[in-house]
Amino acid sequence: MARKATPKPSTEDKLVDAALALAAEQPWNQVGMDAIASAAGVSLQDAYKAFPERAGIVTAVIARNDAAMLAGDDPSLADESRRDRLFDVIMRRLEAMRMHKPALKSMACGSARDPLTLLVAAPRLLGSCKWMLRAAGIPAEGLAGIARTHALSLIYAAAVRAWLKDDSPDLADTMAALDKALKRAGALTS
């Protein structure tokens, strides 16, 4: 039986991988598209076709994290409380992000000072919060869904802030911060 060939990474994947590697080594605001393209072995023209702005790479990283979180779905949690399901989904996302933590920290700090990235990434992060709600079995549509999504964005931001500082293997500080934020949210998680 013949083995299936490993799919060749797309230009976008090469650029995202290179960006993550470079961001782990230096501040994100010092990582240019020319350096990312060079590290990816991609021409500037192809880099431009894939991501006309560096902010697109940040949103692609967010999308990767969404996919990793959704891939870890645990149907056995269906009978748990909303709060427990949401806790699990957010921790699953943070666990998936762990392997790129230095790069994500660099990107978060650098993007905070980049208005274009903030403008492009903010709606993508809200979309991620909607997917976290859906993954936890919590309705995310309509006006109530908008309110839940915005509330979750604050909870998630608190968890990420704790996660960025938490170097423990068990992420105890992150879990404590997330637990506290979920308790404060009340109606969203009850």
Q: What's the rounded mean pLDDT across residues 92-101?
A: 94
Evaluate whether residue 13 is within a structural domain: no
**What pLDDT band is residue 72 in, cutting at 50, 70 and 90?**
confident
Evaluate whether residue 47 is within a structural domain: no
**What pLDDT band is residue 2 in, cutting at 50, 70 and 90?**
low
Evaluate whether residue 27 is within a structural domain: no
Q: Which of 178, 115, 117, 121 is nearest to 152 (CA)?
A: 178
Triad 119, 177, 71: Cα angle to 5°: 65
Distance, C-alpha 8 to centroid of its chain = 24
Tokens of 21: 């590697």
Query: Can you tell me the distance from the alpha carbon of 118 to that of 123, in angstroms, rounded to the nearest whole number?
Result: 9
Helical axes 172-185 vs 142-165, angle rounded to 10° = 150
Query: Can you tell me the distance from the alpha carbon of 62 to that of 143, in angstroms, rounded to the nearest whole number?
Result: 24
Evaluate whether residue 181 is within a structural domain: yes
Evaluate whether residue 153 is within a structural domain: yes
Query: Can you tell me the distance from the alpha carbon of 133 to that of 94, in angstroms, rounded to the nearest whole number?
Result: 15
Evaluate whether residue 76 is within a structural domain: yes
Q: How many domains does the chain fold into?
A: 1
Domain of 97 in residue numbering reads as 62-188
Evaluate whether residue 168 is within a structural domain: yes
CATH number of the domain encompassing residue 151: 1.10.357.10
Indicate the SS3 state at residue 62: helix
Count the neighbouring beta carbons within 10 Å of the beta carbon of residue 186. 10
Higher-confidence position of 167 and 4:
167
Query: Helix, strand, coil % (nearest 5) of the chain?
Result: 75, 0, 25
Evaluate whether residue 78 is within a structural domain: yes
pLDDT of residue 91: 95
Per-residue pLDDT tens over the stretch 23-37:
999 999 999 999 999
Query: Can you tell me the distance from the alpha carbon of 158 to that of 139, in angstroms, rounded to the nearest whole number?
Result: 22
pLDDT of residue 73: 78
pTM of the model: 0.88
**What pLDDT band is residue 3 in, cutting at 50, 70 and 90?**
low
